[in-house]
Structure 1
């Protein structure tokens, strides 16, 4: 009789443990799916970026530049033109509620940049063509810009 009760007790514990294992397996599977989904999302978001464009990286390396360092340098050059009391000269709009300043810069490849700017109330985006000359100087040309209308 004791053996039968002990077996039933062990069987119950085994069932509980099996249910716990199945639950944990589902959690792991869900987390793996979420991770894979996040990885896919990151790959999608970085598709148009210098860091994921092998041809653009090779272009700079053939000119003797480290693409990662150059990307930081170019971003810094654009943002460094934000000055207290003055609009960033790259932005083709005068600040209406403050000075126009560039907030975010993304190099898409070895020739194109997108940037976001604001004066604190109004904001917009720029499409910039850039060129790194042989002497290392970077030339910028705003090809397109857009200022969003102020929402009421």
Structure 2
């Protein structure tokens, strides 16, 4: 009787060990698969981040903030942020009553005003304008003088036509 009891305990213990061994192997395979999936996700995210950083650098290529040669023109003026100063001066032209004087079109829905401004370098600006329904773009030449005045000269312009 005692031998049968030890035999049953031994078989029961062996079955428990076999069960633990098999389930541990399955858990390890599941964890390895999950880890491989996470590694692939991390690699994809790193590639996406690198692509985004390259796009940002590409978009910043034509900007005064990243152009040391153009910024050198303003060293003697001791401006902390020349781009912001010039953009503010350009936006001040919106404050006049009626259409912005730099925009060679009359507003159809309301007055044409400047919306977005991109300062390309120490001489040129690209600006977007709109009256709420119609919109266009301007290429502006500017000159920042030693007395901190800014002269704006319209180089070219376009007004988008509505097709619908």
The whole-number CA distance in structure 1 between the counterparts of 2:131 and 2:161 is 13
For 1:37, what is the secondary structure of its paired residue? helix
Q: 1:41-72 deviations in whole A, cap 9, x for unaligned? A: 111111111112121122222x2333x62211
Which of 29, 34, 49 aligns to 1:15? It is 29
Q: Alignment RMSD, CA only?
A: 1.6
The whole-number CA distance in structure 2 between the counterparts of 1:19 and 1:131 is 62
Q: 1:56-113 deviations in whole A, cap 9, x for unaligned? A: 122222x2333x6221121112122223751111112121221010001110001110
Map of 2:144 onto structure 1: 132
- Within 5 Å, give how 1:99-114 maps onto structure 2: 99-114=111-126
Unaligned 5+ segments in structure 2 are 1-13
Map of 2:55 onto structure 1: 41
The whole-number CA distance in structure 2 between the counterparts of 1:34 and 1:52 is 23
Establish whether residue 119 from structure 1 lines up as the match of residue 131 from structure 2. yes
Aligned pairs, how many? Answer: 150
More helix by share: 2
TM-score, normalization: structure 2?
A: 0.84
For 1:39, what is the secondary structure of its paired residue? helix
Map of 1:64 onto structure 2: 77
Unaligned 5+ segments in structure 1 are none
The whole-number CA distance in structure 2 between the counterparts of 1:48 and 1:102 is 20
Question: Rg bigger for which structure?
Answer: 2
